[in-house]
Structure 1
Amino acid sequence: MRGSPTSGSPPSPVGARATGPRRNAVRTAVVITASTRAAACVYDDRSGPIAAQALRQWGFHVDEPVVVADGPAVGEALRAAISSGADLVLTTGGTGLSPTDSTPEQTSPLLDRQVPGIPEALRAAGVANGVAGAILSRGLAGVAGRTLVVNLPGSTGGVRDAIDVLCPVVEHALDQIAGGDHRRE
């Protein structure tokens, strides 16, 4: 995919082909990893750094991923990220069917509007890449204030698939959230 950090081609710069208002400041993003075991240092977070690296390649300012345990800590981290004024928040993990997977439940009450096409496309990309289990992801996407929030799967492959899906649309989505006009192509 053109401009994807996982495809080997250079990423499209943030703001390329965008219409409407653009701030002079660099866009900011927050990556939150929902994993009880990674938060307890049982193992390293591997999916959050992939998302953060892609965002940096797209020109976003992003700190290291915030790693929290599944459950209410995800909601707390989301509220903090949204309150900070981040343009984009990506979560990884906690979207499956395990009893502890609750990222969608923590995300939903914070969203003003859902954007169902994004998680639909993420699941479709997983299936297209031979991962039938991608249909089990319950991830959400939506707008909270002026922040786009997207739940990604916790697997490294799922995050890479998601980056490929998001790359061509994230800038346009953020411009729309900021009040920009639709592209005329």
Structure 2
Amino acid sequence: MPRIDESREFIPVRIAVLTVSDTRGLSEDRSGDTLVQRLTEAGHILADRAIVKDERKGIADQLRAWIVNDQVDVVISTGGTGLTGRDVTVEAHRDVYEKEIDAFGTVFTMVSYQKIGTSAVQSRATGGVAGGTYLFALPGSTGACKDAWDEILRWQLDYRHLPCNFVEIFPRLDEHQRRK
């Protein structure tokens, strides 16, 4: 159950949105639009936005570019998480993860199951961390993007959320690199 501590100050997070599609441009990118609308309404900052083809290397290259960009804290991708031969977003994400957030996919499946029943088994939503940046791969439907944002990311990207959230551990995500 989400719980917000109003005594804590909201901290805006800089979020990049990546749409993975062979056919969509910005004008047809309803899922990307949904994410942009929700994150900005929540008070976060749209750091960047891009559309890339369903190609593993291209997806991973874009993720890596944002990981090294200190103006990007979080990347949310939409599309390419299914089971078909062209769906390689999950593999591209895992190519760059230092650590996978295993429970993200599990919780997303739980949320999806409430909405679409056993069809939720076809989703391969994933989350991870690399270079101090959170990375999340969501299915390409607007419904899946709404569900992931409204039920998971909205809360975990809010510093006021208790008992814990992703924002409060930002400073420690890359501590292993500082110990050298």
> TM-score, length-normalised on structure 1?
0.78
- Number of residue equivalences: 164
Q: How does 1:1-185 map to 2 (within 5 A)?
A: 26-39=12-25, 44-63=28-47, 65-71=49-55, 72-85=57-70, 86-164=72-150, 165-171=152-158, 172-179=165-172
Flag the 1:128–1:174 CA change in 2: closer, same or farther, 3 A.
same
When the two chains are superposed, the root-mean-square deviation of aligned CA atoms in Å is 2.7
C-alpha contact 2:14 2:47 (8 A) present in aligned 1: no
User: Post-superposition, which runs of at least 4 consecutive aligned residues in structure 1 deviate over 4 A?
Assistant: 15-19
Q: Distance in 1 between matches of 2:53 and 2:83?
A: 16
Residue 98 of structure 1, CA deviation: 1.0
Residue 101 of structure 1, CA deviation: 0.4
Q: Which has the higher helix share?
A: 2
Q: Distance in 2 between matches of 1:104 and 1:79?
A: 14
Question: Is there any run of 5+ residues in structure 1 with no aligned partner, and where?
Answer: 4-11, 181-185
Flag the 1:146–1:101 CA change in 2: closer, same or farther, 3 A.
same
Residues 151-179 of structure 1, C-alpha deviations (whole Å, 9 max, x = no match):
11100101111011221222321221323
Q: Distance in 2 between matches of 1:111 and 1:93?
A: 18
One-letter identity of the residue aligned with 2:69: S
Q: Secondary structure at the match of 2:166?
A: helix
Question: Is there any run of 5+ residues in structure 2 with no aligned partner, and where?
Answer: 159-164, 174-180
Q: What is the percentage of aligned positions where both structures have the same residue?
A: 28
